[in-house]
Amino acid sequence: MAAVFEALAAPRRREILRLVWDRELSAGDIRRANPDVSFGAVSQHLRVLEKAGLVARREEGRFRYYAARRRQLGLLGRWLETTWDAALSDLKTLAEADEAAAKTSRHGRRGKPRVA
Amino acid sequence: MAAVFEALAAPRRREILRLVWDRELSAGDIRRANPDVSFGAVSQHLRVLEKAGLVARREEGRFRYYAARRRQLGLLGRWLETTWDAALSDLKTLAEADEAAAKTSRHGRRGKPRVA
DNA sequence: ACATTATTTTAGTATGTACTAAATTACTTG
DNA sequence: CAAGTAATTTAGTACATACTAAAATAATGT
């Protein structure tokens, strides 16, 4: 359990886990999705996730494919999913409110955008 | 979500959360249950847990009582419970195996104890 | 064999954080 | 009010860790 929480404490690793949640990606794919970080860093994060049992690794030629071990995560996995979904629908709600406001005023929003 | 995982990443905070899981305890009680750490450290941990929404704080006189916010934890809370239960039953299994071994040999165990 | 591609490993650095001791705030009681 | 108790806050330190650059490992293609 300790390893699981330690692994999920880092935002970068949560992002990686989410990235491989419903598709298998190679280490390079994951690097490409995180261009602001070095390949070495990604590789290190993957090792932490793997040791925590959060992702599975499959070797194929010179590629290493990673995928979330959703089955073994059980309730924790489902909690993650609902949390991610909630965050998404919050964004959706904001966007819709924005849309409605723009329509009402018949002008676009001014001032600071609501979402950074 | 970030705050939740960051809070649960520290073993000491997981222990405190577990301590207030099914009873409300004062900061002093929690300190007394963790005699190897200073009161200041406990207080800091409690603040982290509270900011993450994991525990609720109630003031009464000069006491501060803390309790886990189990309701709001939903599936995550249930996952924690099952994990803690699993760890417990592992210990139980070990103890029973030990007991059986002792009975079979009609002597107590020798050598290193199985659980540190 | 050599160059190329994919990934991991290592060494070093910089920031984050768990901790302590001491100062501070606030309630309670003689 | 003064003394004692409960808890928090602050400043400082030691250790953990996220990161980078570069070297190492390994499979593929020419």
CA B34 to chain centre: 11
Backbone angles phi, psi at B66, to 5 degrees: -120, 145
Please tell me the distance from the alpha carbon of residue A112 to that of residue B7, in angstroms, as a whole number.
32
Please tell me the distance from the alpha carbon of residue B106 to that of residue B95, in angstroms, as a whole number.
16
Q: Which nucleotide is nearest to B66 (CA to C1')?
A: D7
Mean of all residue pLDDT scores within chain A? 86
pLDDT value at B76 more than 90: yes
A44 CB-contact burial (10 Å; exposed 0-12 / middle 13-18 / buried 19+): middle
A9 touches B: beta carbon within 8 Å: yes
DSSP per residue, B36-51: TS-HHHHHHHHHHHHH
Q: pLDDT tens digits, residue range B39-62?
A: 999 999 999 999 999 999 999 999
Please tell me the pTM assigned to this model: 0.82
Model confidence at A87, pLDDT cuts 50, 70, 90, reads confident
Residues with CB under 7 A from strand D: A 6, 9-10, 12, 36-41, 44-45, 48, 61-62; B 26-29, 31, 39-40, 42-44, 46-47, 57, 62-65
pLDDT value at A73 more than 80: yes
